[in-house]
Structure formats: structure tokens, C-alpha cells
């Protein structure tokens, strides 16, 4: 018995030693093999009817033992303990295996590299870190890992954070095995491995993120640069709070840039635009709109605003670009004013063409009326008949004067006599002559330059001065007021003359005439029409006075403009080319002593004109031949010996200038006098020198006709 008990004890001792095997499965197998020596074996599926001697279960594992004979209760107790220990180790091994599998799966599937270190000594890493760095996992272990994987210039910062137990993210420049540099983000966190404190670090390659950020910053820079160039002010804000501002800040808002940051942009919006601005901010609207900004000193500045979404230092913001609209509004106002000037000029030009056409045809009729009236006066002896003829002539002359005004407005009154005219002396003379005509309540102030000489027609310039002074007097109505007359020499007229009527004004030698009254003034609508013919604000005016002034000034190569406002008086300004008094050319002509022996060829397509001229000249001893067209004039001239030709300017086949040129082409030097109701100064410029020897404006009196012919004969 003693030997059997001793033998069982030895077997159990060896079973206990088998339990110490490293592999839990081998330990369980060793325990079962040792117990088999005592006749205790694991139950087999082929022997299900045998009774179980011992059953031990733990977790997912279970062992059933059967016995041959009866090993005894002590053996059962020891076997139960041994099997429990073996199954416990097996369950722990299975759990550890599952944990390791999960950890391996997580480590392999991670998008970030992971390593664990103790004071800079790496004790573990995952596969992703090897993929990022190019180092094998075994090469990543040890104290040199961080030094090999980070550029030298970033190492002091990395070890400083390790020493300070820093937790959080930061970016350094990493190194791969082949020496390539790349931006890497390190996310460090404190952990424990059992009882041992460790640092767990996540490693992420942020090359793409840094590239995206660089592109974003470049985009921000370009946007801000574009905004600086395209806008006067550029605001960066969030929820209406100014984060940054650039542009003409001090000039427009009267504050420095630093004074604006952190303040609400609504502080600088005018009350009229507050509702719209609040809606744009609260509803996060983008797009373009117009507002009014409170500028320096409280000035209201109209602004065009463009709002877009953007980023600032990586954070979403709203960018508002503002453009000062005042320059654009000034340009637009100038454009509208220019358009109005063009429309007004076109209207005046159309009216001038109409007036010139009517005057031309009417002049031909007046030549017959006045000429025949004078012929009747030479023949009639009865007082009643002579009075009637005189009335006809007087009415015709008044009609002729009216036609002259129409032609002056149309710019078709030529300045035949160009002689030095001293406007200062003329003004003083008119001041005395008009003393009885101007308002008794008007105080006339003369402030004239000593050198106020222009080259032109004295009579026509007198008409301009009289019209302007009379209008100034009428503007005072029955009130006490002043009429100031000024003259001065100018060489560079200011920009206001760009809008003047008449000739184009350029730098040069000009005489400025200004007539200023303190009368009722005019509104813009009246000013825009004041130079139109037949437009008048007077009850008894015919509206040709200022229209004629414009035409006469234009014919002299000058310009005229008006400035006025209701209840603030008016200023009429006239620019005329300045002349020199000592450059006068005498226009006195020697009278012909052989008039009665001269032959005159009269060329005109109007029969009534030819008849009247022929009869008038024949009464004074001239021999007259007639031609009804330009072609007939050329044919007649070829076979006649005319001493002078009176040539109509406008005919249905050839105009007078063409006929004159053809006559000169034959080599003839016969004097030619051009006659028309609307001669232009430009005619003189178009004709070569000495092509014609005189001009006669229709309608004309017989004395004017004879004077023009005699002047031509003595040239």
C-alpha cells in the first residue's frame, strides 16, 4: 500500500511539473499524459457510456476524465486542481491571442504611424510608421530613432517637448531613410505600460495638408493683393467685426488701421444704409450692392461694395471690397453734361441751317423789293407816291435787318471788315449812348483792360455789346442792381470753356469780355435755350438778340458761355481773339473815276435780282450784261469784255466759287464780286488769294452795290 501511495504521489508530482510548460496547450497535454499513468484518461467520443470520473470546465474549454478502477479521492482532488490551472492558462492564452490579433489589425489599418517611447527611447512602433519613414520596424527601436527621423534644426524643439511632458500636436520636418524631407505632425500623449509610464506618439505625413494650406495662403495673398488694387477699402470681418482692413483707410475714414480692428463695421455706415448692411451681415449674403459710408469729418461717401466668402489665417471670413463712387459719379455727370451739350449744339445747328435757308431765299426777294423801291423814289414826284415808296423801302430795310440777325445766328454773316476794334473805348462810348435806354436803377461798373483790342467788324461787335448790356438791364426788372463789365487778356482759358458755344477754345491770345448782372437769373432749362432763335423770356422780344450774338462771336472765331442761377444774377462771358492796335491795315479804298464807262456782267439765277441790279446800275451809267446760270456766265464771259463780274454765290448748276476759279484758270484778271445772303468767312479761306476782289451781302442797297463794284475796280 505504501509503495502504491508513493507511486501515485510521484505521478502527481510529475503532472504538476508538466503544468509549467511555456505553451498552455503543451502544459494541458503533459498533465493529461501524466494522469494516464494512474489509469485516468480523457473521455473519448467513441466511449460515451463510461461514467465520468472527473469533469473540469473553464471558459470555452472543458475536460472529462474516466478512470480504470478507483485511483482514490486524494488523486481526484489533485487532478482537479491541476486541470483547472491548465484550463485557466489556456483561456488566458486565447484571450491574449485575440487581443494581439486586434491590436495587430488596428496597428496595420491605422492611417497614422505610431510609436511608444520612454524619454526618447523607442520601445515599440507599428507598420504604418515604417511605411512613412522607410525604416524597418526593428530599425525604429532604440534611442537613435528620433534623431534619425527628424531634421537636426528641429531636434532641440522635439526634445524640449519630451522633457516637458508636452501633450498635443505640433509640426516638424521629418526625414525618410533615403533623406527626403517632408512635413510631419506629431501628436503626443502620456500613457502607461503596466506600471511603467510611457509616451505614445501618433505620426502623420501632412505634406498634402501643408501644400493645401500653402495654396490657400497664396490664394488669400492674391485675393488681398487684388482687393488692394481694385478697391479703395478692403475689410475682412466675421459677423460684422473687423479683423483687418487695407486701403485708403486714413484718407476716407479718418482713422488708423489699428483703430478699426475689433470694431463693428456698422459704426462706419450712414443711417440710410444701416438696414441693408445689417441684412447682408446677418443673412451672410454675398454679391454687389451700394451703400453710403461715414467718412472723415462726417462726410457721406457713396460706395460700391462687393462681398465674397474667403479665409483669413485658415479660418472662414467675409471680404468686403469698397470702391469710392464719387469719381465715377463725377465722370457720369460730365458725360451727361457732354451729351446735353452735343444735343444742344445739334439743335442749334439744325435751327441755324433752317434760318440760313429761309434767309437766303428771303434775301433774293428783298433785293427786288428794296431795289425797286429805290428806283421808284428816283422817278416819282408826287408826294403821296413818294411816301408810299419810302414806306416800302423802310419796311424792306427792317426786314433786311431781321434777316441779318437770322444769318448772324446761323453763323453765316461773314466778317468782311476786319480792323482793330478797341472794346474798352467802344464800351465807354456805348455806356453814354445807352444811358437813356438802360434801367435807371442800374449801376454800370466798367473794369476794362487798357489793351482790349480785337480784330473784327466794329458794327457787328457793337451789336453784341448792345444786346448783352440791354439783356443785363432787362434782367434787373424794376429792382436796384449792378451791371459789371470786365475785360482782360487771357492765354490759357480754364476748363469751363470746354462747354462754351462757338469756336473751339485752345490756349492762345484771347480777350475775355464779361457782363455780370445782379438780376433775376435763370434756371437750367432757360439757360439751355437762351441762344436759340425766337426763344425769349421777354414779353416783347423776338428772341434773335442772343442768337445773333452767338453767330457774330462764332464768325469772329470766338466763343460765348452763360452762368446763372435763379435770384443770383447772370454772367455772360465772351472770348474773342485778341488783336494789336498798331497792326491795323487801312481798308480805305480809292473811289473809281471811271465807273460810268465800266461794263458789268451780272450773274444770278433769280430773274428779279438780275432785273433790279441791271436797272440800278444802268441809271448810274454802267453797261450791264446778264447771265442766268454758272454755265451761261462762262459762255458769256468768253465772248464779252466785261470790266467787272457780279457773281451770285449759290446757283442751281455751278456755285460762284467754281465759276470764279474757272475764270481765273483762263488767265483773266477781271475783278469779281461775290454776292450772297449767307456768305461765310470760310469762303475766303477756301478761295485762293486774289480770286475774288469783293463780297456783297444780300439784301443790299444800291449804294452798297455801287460801292462794292467801285472797290473791286480799283484793286
Q: What CATH number does the domain containing 252 carry?
A: 3.30.450.20
Q: Tell me if 148 sits within 8 A of 135, measured CB to CB.
A: yes
Q: Tell me if 577 sits within 8 A of 508, measured CB to CB.
A: yes
Query: Per the domain annotation, does 263 fall within a domain?
Result: yes
Q: Report helix angle 2-18 to 73-109, nearest 10.
A: 10
Do 232 and 309 lie in one domain? The reply is: yes
Banded model confidence at residue 513, pLDDT cuts 50, 70, 90: very high
Task: Note the pLDDT of residue 260.
Answer: 87
Q: Is the pLDDT of residue 586 over 50?
A: no
Query: Per the domain annotation, does 368 fall within a domain?
Result: no
Name the domain count of the chain: 5
* pLDDT, averaged across the chain: 80
Q: 150-154, 163-167, 207-211, 672-676 — which is least confidently predicted?
A: 207-211
Q: Tell me if 558 sits within 8 A of 423, measured CB to CB.
A: no
Banded model confidence at residue 544, pLDDT cuts 50, 70, 90: low
Cα-Cα-Cα-Cα dihedral sign, residues 295, 297, 298, 301: negative
Banded model confidence at residue 682, pLDDT cuts 50, 70, 90: very low
Do 431 and 565 lie in one domain? The reply is: yes
**Which residues share a beta bridge with 205?**
184
Query: Per the domain annotation, does 507 fall within a domain?
Result: yes
Do 37 and 136 lie in one domain? The reply is: no
CA–CA separation, 436 and 3 (whole Å): 173
**556, 583, 610 — which closes off a domain?**
583
N-terminal to C-terminal alpha carbon distance within the chain: 182
Q: Are strands 570-577 and 510-517 parallel, antiparallel or unpaired?
A: antiparallel
Helix (H) or strand (E) holding 444: strand 442-447
Burial of 37 (0-12, 13-18, 19+ CB in 10 A): middle
Do 424 and 555 lie in one domain? The reply is: yes
Domain boundaries, position 428: 419-583
**160, 184, 205 — which closes off a domain?**
205
Q: Tell me if 387 sits within 8 A of 412, measured CB to CB.
A: no
Q: What is the pLDDT of residues 438-476, one digit of tens each?
A: 777 788 888 888 788 898 888 788 888 888 888 888 888
Do 115 and 102 lie in one domain? The reply is: no
Amino acid at each position: 500500500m505504501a509503495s502504491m501511495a508513493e507511486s501515485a504521489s510521484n505521478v502527481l508530482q510529475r503532472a504538476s511539473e508538466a503544468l509549467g510548460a511555456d505553451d498552455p496547450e503543451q502544459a494541458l497535454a503533459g498533465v493529461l499524459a501524466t494522469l494516464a499513468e494512474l489509469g485516468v484518461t480523457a473521455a473519448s467520443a467513441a466511449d460515451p457510456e463510461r461514467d465520468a470520473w472527473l469533469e473540469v470546465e473553464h471558459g470555452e474549454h472543458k475536460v472529462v476524465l474516466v478512470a480504470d478502477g478507483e485511483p482514490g479521492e486524494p488523486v481526484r482532488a489533485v487532478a482537479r486542481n491541476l486541470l483547472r490551472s491548465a484550463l485557466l492558462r489556456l483561456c488566458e492564452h486565447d484571450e491574449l491571442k485575440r487581443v494581439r490579433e486586434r491590436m495587430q489589425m488596428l496597428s496595420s489599418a491605422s492611417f497614422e504611424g505610431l510609436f511608444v517611447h520612454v524619454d526618447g527611447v523607442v520601445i515599440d512602433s507599428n507598420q504604418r510608421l515604417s511605411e512613412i519613414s522607410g525604416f524597418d520596424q526593428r530599425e525604429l527601436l532604440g534611442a537613435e530613432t528620433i534623431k534619425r527621423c527628424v531634421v537636426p534644426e528641429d531636434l532641440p524643439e522635439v526634445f524640449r517637448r519630451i522633457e516637458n511632458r508636452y501633450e498635443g500636436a505640433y509640426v516638424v520636418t521629418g526625414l525618410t531613410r533615403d533623406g527626403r524631407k517632408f512635413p510631419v505632425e506629431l501628436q503626443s500623449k502620456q500613457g502607461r505600460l503596466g506600471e511603467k509610464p510611457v509616451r505614445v506618439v501618433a505620426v502623420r505625413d501632412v505634406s498634402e495638408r501643408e501644400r493645401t494650406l500653402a495654396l490657400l495662403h497664396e490664394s488669400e495673398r492674391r485675393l488681398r493683393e487684388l482687393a488692394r488694387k481694385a478697391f479703395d477699402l478692403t475689410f475682412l470681418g466675421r459677423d460684422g467685426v473687423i479683423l483687418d482692413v487695407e486701403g485708403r483707410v486714413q484718407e476716407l475714414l479718418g482713422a488708423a488701421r489699428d483703430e478699426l480692428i475689433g470694431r463693428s463695421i456698422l459704426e462706419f455706415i450712414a443711417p440710410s444704409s444701416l438696414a441693408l448692411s445689417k441684412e447682408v451681415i446677418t443673412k451672410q449674403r454675398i454679391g454687389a450692392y451700394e451703400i453710403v459710408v461715414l467718412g472723415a469729418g462726417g462726410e457721406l461717401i457713396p460706395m460700391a461694395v462687393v462681398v465674397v466668402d474667403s479665409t483669413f489665417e485658415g479660418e472662414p471670413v467675409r471680404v468686403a471690397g469698397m470702391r469710392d463712387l464719387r469719381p465715377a459719379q463725377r465722370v457720369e455727370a460730365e458725360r451727361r453734361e457732354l451729351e446735353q451739350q452735343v444735343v444742344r449744339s445739334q439743335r442749334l445747328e439744325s435751327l441755324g441751317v433752317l434760318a440760313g435757308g429761309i434767309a437766303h431765299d428771303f434775301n433774293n426777294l428783298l433785293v427786288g423789293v428794296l431795289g425797286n423801291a429805290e428806283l421808284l423814289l428816283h422817278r416819282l414826284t408826287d408826294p403821296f407816291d413818294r411816301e408810299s415808296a419810302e414806306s416800302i423801302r423802310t419796311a424792306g430795310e427792317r426786314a433786311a435787318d431781321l434777316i441779318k440777325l437770322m444769318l448772324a445766328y446761323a453763323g453765316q454773316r461773314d466778317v468782311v471788315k476786319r480792323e482793330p476794334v478797341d472794346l474798352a473805348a467802344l464800351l465807354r462810348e456805348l455806356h453814354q449812348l445807352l444811358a437813356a435806354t438802360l434801367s435807371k436803377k442800374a449801376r454800370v461798373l466798367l473794369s476794362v483792360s487798357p489793351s482790349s483790342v480785337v480784330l473784327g467788324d466794329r458794327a457787328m461787335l457793337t451789336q453784341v455789346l448792345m444786346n448783352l448790356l440791354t439783356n443785363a438791364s432787362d434782367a434787373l426788372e424794376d429792382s436796384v442792381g449792378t451791371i459789371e463789365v470786365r475785360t482782360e487778356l487771357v492765354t490759357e482759358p480754364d476748363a469751363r470753356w470746354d462747354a462754351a458755344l462757338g469756336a473751339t477754345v485752345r490756349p492762345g491770345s484771347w480777350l475775355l469780355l464779361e457782363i455780370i448782372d445782379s438780376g433775376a437769373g435763370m434756371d437750367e432749362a432757360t439757360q439751355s435755350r437762351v441762344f436759340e432763335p425766337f426763344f425769349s423770356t421777354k414779353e416783347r422780344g423776338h428772341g434773335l438778340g442772343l442768337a445773333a450774338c452767338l453767330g457774330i462771336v462764332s464768325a469772329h472765331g470766338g466763343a460765348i458761355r452763360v452762368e446763372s442761377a435763379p435770384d443770383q444774377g447772370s454772367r455772360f462771358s465772351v472770348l474773342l481773339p485778341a488783336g494789336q492796335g498798331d497792326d491795323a491795315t487801312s481798308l480805305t479804298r480809292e473811289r473809281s473815276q471811271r465807273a460810268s464807262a465800266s461794263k458789268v456782267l451780272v450773274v444770278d439765277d433769280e430773274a428779279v435780282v438780275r432785273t433790279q441790279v441791271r436797272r440800278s446800275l444802268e441809271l448810274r451809267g454802267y453797261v450791264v450784261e446778264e447771265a442766268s446760270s454758272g454755265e451761261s456766265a462762262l459762255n458769256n464771259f468768253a465772248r464779252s469784255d466785261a470790266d467787272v463780274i457780279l457773281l451770285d454765290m449759290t446757283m442751281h448748276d455751278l456755285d460762284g466759287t467754281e465759276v470764279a476759279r474757272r475764270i481765273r484758270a483762263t488767265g483773266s484778271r477781271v475783278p469779281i464780286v461775290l454776292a450772297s445772303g449767307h456768305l461765310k468767312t470760310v469762303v475766303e479761306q477756301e478761295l485762293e488769294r486774289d480770286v475774288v476782289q469783293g463780297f456783297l451781302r444780300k439784301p443790299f442797297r444800291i449804294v452798297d452795290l455801287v460801292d462794292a463794284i467801285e472797290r473791286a475796280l480799283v484793286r
